[in-house]
Chain A
Amino acid sequence: MGILEVNGVNKRFGGLQALNNVNLSVEENTVHAIIGPNGAGKSTLLNCLIGKLAPDTGSVTFDGKSVLGRKPHEINQMGISRVFQTPEIFGDLTVLENVIIPCFAKRDGSFRLHALESVEDEAGIGERAERMLADVNMLDKRDMHAASLSRGDKRRLEMAMCLVQEPRLLLLDEPTAGMARADTNNTIELLKEIKASRDITMAIIEHDMHVVFSLAERITVLAQGTPLVEDIPANIKGHPKVQEAYLGQAHS
């Protein structure tokens, strides 16, 4: 059994069947890529995993426990973090503060009234956040307003915010979109390092095949809400169904 199990999930938006009987099993400590043309339902699937959307039918379990019916912050506290397709960061705060917040969430849980302590004096938190920023090459931008970052930097910041929580399952929704080639390669290296240095499972959505084939150990192809194939990367490349799904999309 995988650490993440999705069974028979359906999600309908009005007349649109966004997810159609989706089954997915992600093995612990693997990198699992989900690919598919635009509008295939990839982001919708992630939304159903983190409590942003409730599927119409089906079950989603993480580490044997159902995530359905739980609030987003409870699901995160179970060990699932997500990088969004459009960066979700604290735009009004500094880059460093953006990374400090998840450190507190990790240490103190979903709520703690620490109103008279000073952020500066919290043992280890600032250092930990700075180390994380150094890992994503953003330490020089620590005092910048997060909203004033470039799109690629916002994405790297969001990744740092998720990684610093040391999640068991990291969901990445197009983590390198909007990044320059060099930054994309850095991101691949970073994710590889993270993967090698600790126990972590990753589910990654990506259009950039270079990223997919550099990282993924298994790939699921999703088209029009339905999983077409699931296999190891080598078998996906030349798969006729995949060609059809992508080429059909590309020529339309």
Chain B
Amino acid sequence: MLGLNKTDTKFLLIVIFLTLATPILLQPFAENSGLAQFNAGYPDLMQRFAIYGIFAIGFNLLFGLTGYLSFGHAAFLGVGSYSAVWMLKLLSMNVLPGILLAMVVSGLFALVIGFISLRRSGIYFSILTLAFAQMSFNLAYSVLTPLTNGETGLQLSLTDPRILDAANTSGSLPVTNLFGAAMSESYKLEFLNRVFTFNVGYYFCAILAIIAFYISLRIFRSPFGLMLRAVKSNQQRMNYTGLAARPYTLAAFVISGMYAGLAGGLLASMDPLAGAERMQWTASGEVVIMTILGGAGTLMGPVLGAGFIKYLENIFSKINEHVLHGWFSWLPDGLQDLVVWIAARFTGEGWHLTLGLMFMLVVIFLPGGLMEGGQRIGKLFRRGREDVPDDGTGNRPKPAPHVAE
């Protein structure tokens, strides 16, 4: 189906199901229970899962397949956001034109940056992309203020032309929509003491994320994907086999830049605002961490990594000293203060410390990321069930691990 073989079709159907059921799956705890704060089925959080999922899927097409580590992908995210907000200001509150423009402009940016950066490989390539992104970030604050509105960031205003929309007489800012369906619109369902929120914006992002995933799956299975893995494995051999590596890496760079642009456009479509900080190197670093944490070069890894980080960020930043005191109230006073003080370093504002530690642990103990962790657990279970002695398979040739799942 859809140009996929049986296994991949099944895989895609599972991903579609999980994505569409997210508003239910992420609301496992009853509303009045103490665990309710660990629920994640809120529209803006789910939107971020989908959007950063797209960002990471695109990043993985470059880094996971070719091994070229871009440290400037946030530039495309930022460019995408600015483009989309401009369309929302000039054309219409319908999000489609903005998203299309976001992909086109980020694609062009990627073409130029990629063309220059891909002349080098390894660390030099990373530094070049980083330099371009920081340049974009600085330009957004200085020379380009007419386009970016500098520090304030680009926002909607009542005086925007929006030539395709009917005149706005309400006196308040219009909301983003898709052919009339407002992105902020939600349908709430109460069931079993849980509130499930089905949000238009989330489903819009989710459908695009599914398409983005599907295209990435096709690329992984395509001759083009094979060539990208060849680039990573042995560029010399590739050249002596009659293949030019550069056009392949450039194509991957542009595609991956367009994924980032789409993500940026979606961010602006959910919340019509674009600021230069979206292009800062920390944002580029975040997508690197998402991809590696989840498992670079695997299909699902980047999505998992993105969801994992955005979820923990949400949970950990909510935990403040007050909450901690509540948790540790059973400890004697002096000890309680100490424990709360220590825990507070890792939560709230200090959440990046936790992220850093987690990242270190994963890189050291699970170089293949969360996907490798999952596979190891799966193997343990299988070994537990089968009673086949290990040496029975010893002399069969070891099959190569598939770049899949």
A residues touching B (Cβ–Cβ < 8 Å)?
50, 52, 71-73, 76-77, 81-82, 84, 88-94, 97, 100-102, 104-106, 108-122, 140-141, 143-145, 148, 161, 165
Contacts and interface: CB of A to CB of B under 8 A. Distances in A.
Contact of B400 (A71, A73, A145): A145
Contacts of A114: 222-224
B397 A143 contact: yes
Given A91-B233, A92-B233, A143-B400, 12 more contacts: A52-B240, A73-B238, A77-B242, A81-B241, A88-B237, A90-B230, A93-B226, A93-B230, A114-B222, A115-B219, A144-B398, A148-B398
Contacts of B243: 73, 101, 104-105, 110-111
B329 interface: no
Contacts, number: 128
Contacts of A77: 242
Interface string B388-404: 00000000011111000
Contacts of B232: 92
B234 A116 contact: no
Nearest to B234: A90
A161 to B, nearest CB: 7
B223 A119 contact: yes
B347 to A, nearest CB: 40
B242 A165 contact: yes
Contacts of A100: 226
Interface in B286-334: none
Contact of A101 (B5, B227, B236): B227
Interface in B228-277: 229-230, 232-234, 236-244, 247-248, 251, 255
19 contacts: A52-B240, A71-B239, A71-B244, A73-B238, A76-B240, A77-B242, A81-B240, A82-B240, A84-B240, A88-B240, A90-B238, A93-B400, A101-B226, A102-B241, A116-B215, A118-B4, A120-B221, A144-B397, A144-B398
B222 A88 contact: no
B345 interface: no
B3 interface: yes
Contacts of B242: 73, 76-77, 102, 105-106, 109-110, 165
B218 interface: yes
Interface residues of B, number: 36
Of the candidates B4, B5, B215, B244, the one having the most CB atoms from chain A within 10 angstroms of its own CB is B244
A165 B251 contact: no
B230 A101 contact: yes
A50 to B, nearest CB: 6
Contacts of A84: 240
Contacts of B223: 104, 108, 112, 114, 117, 119, 122
A172 to B, nearest CB: 13
Nearest to B397: A144
Contacts of B219: 115-116
A82 B107 CA distance: 37
Interface in B83-115: none
Contact of A111 (B3, B233, B244, B399): B244
B225 interface: yes
